[in-house]
Amino acid sequence: MGQFGAQLPFANSELIDTDALVEKGDVLDSIDDDDDIEWPENPFDHRDDQRLETNDELLAMIHFDGSDGFQAKLRELCREFIDVFSTRVRRQSAKVAPMRIVVDRKSWEVSRYRLPPRHHDNDKQTAIR
């Protein structure tokens, strides 16, 4: 078993090679947490004594809307792909191709898009943060 013990911070730990796990400090620089979001716990931290959620507990955390039949189909789909859900941040990034944004620079770089930023009153500024 790897350096993190028997329990892993993943929904389906059978798919993880524990010897390939890396510490977050090895790949991420520390930054100040100034976004004013209160977290009950840091989702990036992992302790060996943390109990992992069961599949049913993970499904219970998902809110489904729509008709009863539609909700049943959504639950079935989520159960089929339950290994992608987790309350812990995975150590390995997703294997998704980077998004490319194609911009027509001639249409974008026109004077009407070069205005100064709009000012907001205190209420709106607080809501934006």
**Average pLDDT of the residues of the chain:** 78
pLDDT value at 86 more than 70: yes
> What are the residues whose beta carbons fall under 8 Å from the beta carbon of 120, sequence distance 6 or more?
128
pLDDT tens-digit readout, 35-63: 887 777 776 665 555 667 888 998 999 99
Terminal CA-CA length for the chain: 43
